[in-house]
Every structure is written in C-alpha cells, then in structure tokens.
Amino acid sequence: MTKVLTSRFDLRGGACDIDVYLKTRGYEALAKTLKEFQPDQVIEEVKKSSLRGRGGAGFPTGMKWGFVPKESKRPKYVVCNADESEPGTGKDRDLMRYDPHQLIEGMVIAAYALGARDNYIYIRGEYWYIKEILERAVAQAYERGYLGKDVLGSGFECHLYVHPGAGAYICGEETALLESLEGKRGHPRLKPPFPAVVGLYGGPTVVNNVETLAAVPWIMVNGGEAYKALGTEKSGGTKMFTVSGHVARPGNYEVPMGYPMMRLINEEGGGVAGGRRLKAVIPGGSSVPIITPEEAEKCNMDYESIAAVGSMLGSGGLIVMDETADVFETTRNLTHFYKHESCGWCTPCREGTRWLYKVFDRMARYEGKPGDIELLHDLADKILGKSFCPLGDAAAMPVQSAIQKFRPDFERRIKQTLIQIQAAD
C-alpha cells in the first residue's frame, strides 16, 4: 500500500531533523511547485486530487482554496488547525511529531497557492512537546531557505508561526480557532462570511487540518490524478485512522480510502481484544452516530459508504467496543464531554447539553423515570440543527443513535424496568 502521509514514520523521530527529511525527498515538492507551477495551477492540481478536509467536515480542499479572492486589500493567511481534540482521534499528533517538515512543506505550498505571507499553526496547548518539535523544524526551515523573505530564491516571502491553544475543544471549529488566535475566547463566528473571504484579522483565510496539508507535498510531486487513484472514485487518496478502544493493537494506520472497516479493525487493529465479540463502533470520532457490527460489516472507510449506514467518516477516529461495553455509559461519558466543552455562546447547546447530562446522571444511579429515554431523545432533538455551530449537533447525534441502536442498555437504567428485570430473575 502506498504511504502518502506516513512514509517516514518508521524513522520515528528521525524525520524531525531536516537532513533526514531532505534525504527522503523532502522539500522536493516545494522546489518543483515554485519552479513549475503558477499559484492557480497549484489549486487546480489539488482540485484534481479530490483531497477533502481531514479534520472532520470533509469539505473539498481545492474548492476551499478556490474561494479565496485573488485580490485582497487585507493580508491573506493560511492557518493549520492542529487543535486535534475530537475524542477517538490522535493522528495529527503522530503526523507532527514524526514528520513535522511534511506539514511545513504543505503549508508553504498552500501559502504560495493563495498568496499568503504570514501563516500560523494553531496547536492544542496540551501538545506542548510537539509544539517544541514544530518550532525546531520551523527554525531549520528558515535556516535552509524553505521559509523566509525569499523562499528558495523565488521571490516568494513566507513566514510561519506556531501558536498554542490552551484547552478548548471548540477551538477546533475553524471560526472559533480564528477568534482564539486573535486573543479572544473561542466563540464561533456567524457564517457567512466564510473565513475564505473574511477570516483572520479580517483577511481572507484558509483553515486546513494537519492531515490535509500534510498530503499536499505528495500531491505536488506525484500529481493530483495519482493521489485520487489511490482511493475510490468519490473519496480519493489515503487517510489516517486512529483505532482505539477494545482492540488488540490500537494505533494510527494509513490506508487507502475505501478500505473495508472490518479489515481495518481485524488486521491493522489486531481484532477485538481477548477474542470477545464486537458490540459497537463509533466510526469517525465521538461526534458521529454509533453503528452496529452488522453495519460495520457493510462499511468501507470512505465518505459515501459510512454515510450509507447513517454515520460519518468524520475525523477518522474509530472507537471499537466489545460486548463488555455499556453503550449507556459510553454515551453518558460523551455527554459529559460536550457539556464541558460547550462554549456557552448559544442557548440550545449551553443549556441542552447540561439538561442531557442531568438526565444521564440520574439514570446512571438507576433512578431513571419512565419516559426518560424519550426525554433524552427529545432534548437531543431540541439541540440538533438549532445550535450556532456544529458542536450542538455533535452532542445530539451520538445520543439519538445510541438510543436507537442500543436501547436495552438505556432501559436497564430506568428504575421500574430494573425492578421488573430483578423480579423476573
């Protein structure tokens, strides 16, 4: 299998050093791009690749770049979203700590395509040691002329700064990230205007996930068509998946788009741990609907196939649960997460996530009242599609899908039902 993103992972920390990176065809894409491509042609090449945003939303990258106006009075920016905090996801962590120059190279190419001079990597504050790895790599890139006033003698000026977040899931939402980068609370902005038109400091801005930008050098060396051909017709290329939970070999794995989900769990992931039976899978990070083993059997790791069973590819965080898992408990855990991470800006999300958790909490003590399951569903309904940003949907969808597919786990938490169960025993 072709490795687009992880080809230097076997070197582990080795590729952090620019000399190792250069020896493994590093910065070849940048040199080629500056020499052979006009900025517009870079965007065309990325469009051809069918690369889509790997942070979760899956928006076509080339199209996003194409929305940036060519002429702008205000400076333009490329911002890398390295605020990885979607539960179940740890791929950007490895992409940055094992191969930081690949990301830097992707960013410089993106900045060239869009005409951006100053650019930022916004990395979650908890990844402090990775921030230091990136800063060292950025310093090396300046020394060797891959960043600076005149990149490789092309006349293109490009600067890159690494900026830490400070613990807020919401800052993974692109407009909240921009607010945070401007030194404010991470509250999402109203869209439109989209960041491509009015973004950082009011200038046109592209915000891309780490994995998205890290794929760009390969695309520029090998061509957009070649990248696309690695995956399926509609979902091109490869993708990193974080496999976690009840598997024998949890880890980050790069596979082509369209790779069978059960194969990813059983081969790369080593199968369900301890030979137990599979009970459930959350296929794309905690925000997407949970699926059953029967549905997982039908899924390939691409946008369309997972959508066909009513869930989403999301960030590529595959959370595997065996028969010992209690889906009520895991859903309660996620509701606590969203309650904690709701930024407080809009009422449906701020109040709704608290109410949801209140009901979960009494059910956790086996004190649920008849009608509580319906109440949970109804509360989720009052958030879904009614919140200011997608965090509300992310809190609501897991609850509704868990109730729909794993209702017995919830019913045991209703006091009267529990008494009936005990009486029957």
Partner 1 sequence: MYSEANERKIDELLTHYPVKRSAILPALFIAQEEHGYVTDEDVKYLARRLEMRVNEVEEVVTFYSMYSRKPIGRYKLQVCRTISCLLVGAERITEHISDKLGVRVGGTTGDGKFTLQEVECLGYCDLAPCLQVNFDYHERITPERVDEIINELK
**Chain residues in the site for partner 1 (CB under 8 A):** 75, 84-90, 92-93, 118, 124-129, 161, 163-169, 180-186, 201, 242-246, 250-252, 282, 286, 317, 319, 321, 325, 329-330, 333-334, 336-337, 340-341, 343
Query: Which DSSP helix (H) or strand (E) runs through 349?
Result: helix 347-364
Omega before 283 within 30 of 0, i.e. cis: no
- Quote the least distance from Cβ 59 to partner 1, whole Å: 22
- Quote the least distance from Cβ 324 to partner 1, whole Å: 9
Dihedral, 189, 191, 193, 196 alpha carbons, nearest 10: 90
- Quote the least distance from Cβ 345 to partner 1, whole Å: 11
* Closer Cβ to partner 1, 33 or 119, answer by number: 119
Q: Which of 41, 405, 424, 31 is nearest to 223 (CA)?
A: 41
Q: Give helix then strand counts, H and E, for the chain.
A: 20, 10
297 near 253, Cβ under 8 Å? no
- Quote the least distance from Cβ 146 to partner 1, whole Å: 18
Sign, CA torsion 270/271/273/275 = negative
Enter the DSSP assignment of 163. E
- What whole-number distance in Å separates Cα of residue 90 and Cα of residue 46? 25
Q: What residues have CB less than 8 Å from 127, skipping those under 6 apart?
A: 82, 84, 93, 96
- What whole-number distance in Å separates Cα of residue 105 and Cα of residue 99? 10
* Closer Cβ to partner 1, 221 or 273, answer by number: 273
- Quote the least distance from Cβ 253 to partner 1, whole Å: 9
- What whole-number distance in Å separates Cα of residue 309 and Cα of residue 291? 8
* Closer Cβ to partner 1, 141 or 343, answer by number: 343
* Closer Cβ to partner 1, 253 or 259, answer by number: 253
Lateral strand order in the sheet of 317-322: 251-256, 238-245, 317-322, 278-282
* Closer Cβ to partner 1, 329 or 374, answer by number: 329
Sign, CA torsion 92/97/99/103 = positive
- Quote the least distance from Cβ 214 to partner 1, whole Å: 16
* Closer Cβ to partner 1, 164 or 260, answer by number: 164
- Quote the least distance from Cβ 60 to partner 1, whole Å: 26
Task: Record the tokens describing residue 386, joined without a space.
Answer: 């009614």
* Closer Cβ to partner 1, 55 or 186, answer by number: 186
55 near 209, Cβ under 8 Å? yes
- Quote the least distance from Cβ 288 to partner 1, whole Å: 12
3-state secondary structure of 67: coil
Q: What residues have CB less than 8 Å from 398, skipping those under 6 apart?
A: 282, 286, 287, 288, 289, 290, 331, 334, 335
* Closer Cβ to partner 1, 32 or 117, answer by number: 117
- Quote the least distance from Cβ 25 to partner 1, whole Å: 27
* Closer Cβ to partner 1, 25 or 340, answer by number: 340
